[in-house]
Chains A and B, each alone.
Chain A
Amino acid sequence: MNETVAVLGTFQTEFKTHHPEHTFAEQAQLAAVGALQDAGMTPDDIDAIVFSLAPTYFMGVADADRWSIDYIFGAGKPMLRVHTGGATGGSAVQAGYNLVRSGLYRSVLIVGAERIAETPDAQNVLNLIFDVFYERDMPLSTNTTVGLWATRYLDRYGLTQEDMARVVVRARRNALKNPHAHLKGNVTVEDVMASRMISYPLKLFDICPRSSGSAAMIVGNMAMAKRFRSRPAFINGVASRTTTYWIGDRMTPSTDADFIDFDLAEAAARECYRIAGITDPLKQIQVTEFYDPYSIMTPVQLERLGFCASGMALRLERDGYWNVEDGAVAVNPSGGTLCTNPIAVTGLVRAIDAADQVMGKAGAMQVSNVRNALSSAVGGIAQFFNCTVFGAEPRSH
């Protein structure tokens, strides 16, 4: 018997460059306490913990999940750490889901924190993820590799830097309504184009900030949902996929996992939608929270996750298709990862922002009549992908 899995509580801090008033473990605690209070639960109501923690080089304390155990009321409970790079937070939610769905535990606290800006050397840290013999002598980082991605994507579909810039304009505008967002504001295409070049064709505004903060979500079975939440969100579909380390294998004519068109995401979405009963994403999904730390990553996900055809997302962006108020689907009402990227918990924040929309507690970001919301997370150099569908009604699967 598979258990229905519900979201019982969520919490996220404000995200900004530094949180000098707290240590890492104290940040994690803020999130754990916040989610417990949101659910009306005490630590005794939590059976197990999943800790969402990506590379710890950023904060300089190896495997800092250990540091946090007692802060998040973990002592005496089963706890595991999940790490799939940028996809970590999404994987953590899916690990928590699996633990409840299997019937092993009644409830799981998924929690993590991030402080990327503890080191000024974040790009050097990210260079360490590349192959030491063949790639690391180049200035490869997430910025520069996504620069490579964007060059080929724009070339393939005849699109421009201005087309990418519109994604940033929408994201920052959406983030104005998000009290947790790191970057927000009314910027123009011209402002994006005038921001300094980082890795052609990516400019500073095409790139996420380095954010610190923490987040937590509590998931539980139906009995716990009845006890603790009048209007939960149900996790109705999950899927994830991984692919080869070698980006050079993913861009040639013989590839079976095209990096530029992000084939990986399509494979995961197909399975996720099948489980969740989504046959027409544009009709059935009202809100998406994509993991989009770069402007180019929003259109590729819209295309691969069934919202439009290949090469069309940025063209439809020109016509406002992805706007919150009057679009075909509200894309990243939170402002998304372009505005806030605390790597270890970003995927978790995407899931929280999607679940909150279904639970009707997204505050100023709330979209009306949300029946289904989708979140995603991406890790490595597009090597890990996962997506999750949250629904207002439980779906037996």
Chain B
Amino acid sequence: MAEAKKSDKSAVITEQVMLRYDYALGEVAGRFMAGLKDGKILATHCSKSGLTYLPPRSYCERSFEKCDGWVEAGLEGVIETSTIVVRGFEGKRKPPVAIAFVRLDGTDSAIGNYVDGLDLSDYEAAMKKIAPGKRVRVQFADAREGRITDFSFVCIE
């Protein structure tokens, strides 16, 4: 193979690909999203494994049985982990934003969402408030559309 010649980086064909999707929620996610409109966080429970899943699952991956119950998750929980996203990307909230995975009371798995009400001018100080183990509560948006962004977390102080 010949040695590559010095190339002109402007020699490109530019294209913008725009694709549209309508993602069908299905019964389980559909019920969860309907619950958000009612101000409830709904999880599924498997009586065989005893585990309560949030996000809700139709099937328990541990017992290989269908989840057989719906339960309302607590509206408070514990942060499993968190980060402050300083460099974000288009189509999401403008950075910096804090996000956390939270195990809501009564559930066995963590669900992620934004953490609101934090002063993000000092990342170190903000991270201390949302460190693993800290407790948060669910805060619902006033106008809800049946989407995960209908709620966020706020610190309990």
Contacts and interface: CB of A to CB of B under 8 A. Distances in A.
Q: Note whether A and B form a binding pair.
A: yes
Interface of A: 18-22, 30, 33-34, 60, 121, 123-124, 127, 131-135, 137-141, 143-144, 147-152, 155-156, 196-201, 244, 246-249, 251-254, 256, 260
A252 B80 contact: yes
Nearest to B97: A139
Nearest to A246: B109
A20 B123 contact: no
A286 B85 CA distance: 38
- Main SS of chain A's interface residues? loop
A253 to B, nearest CB: 8
User: For chain B, which range describes its interface: under 10, 10 to 19, 20 to 34, or 35 or more residues?
Assistant: 35 or more
Nearest to A133: B29
25 contacts: A22-B4, A124-B91, A134-B111, A137-B92, A137-B148, A138-B148, A139-B99, A140-B112, A144-B99, A150-B83, A156-B132, A197-B86, A199-B84, A199-B87, A201-B127, A246-B109, A247-B101, A248-B55, A248-B111, A248-B112, A249-B53, A249-B61, A249-B110, A251-B80, A254-B51
A147 B80 contact: no
Given A138-B99, A155-B131, A198 B87 contact: yes
B148 A134 contact: yes
Contacts of B113: 138
A246 B55 contact: yes
Contact of B108 (A123, A152, A155, A252): A252
A151 B61 contact: no
Nearest to A256: B62
B1 interface: yes
Contacts of B103: 248, 252
A198 B108 contact: no
Contact of B147 (A137, A140, A254): A137
A244 B55 CA distance: 13
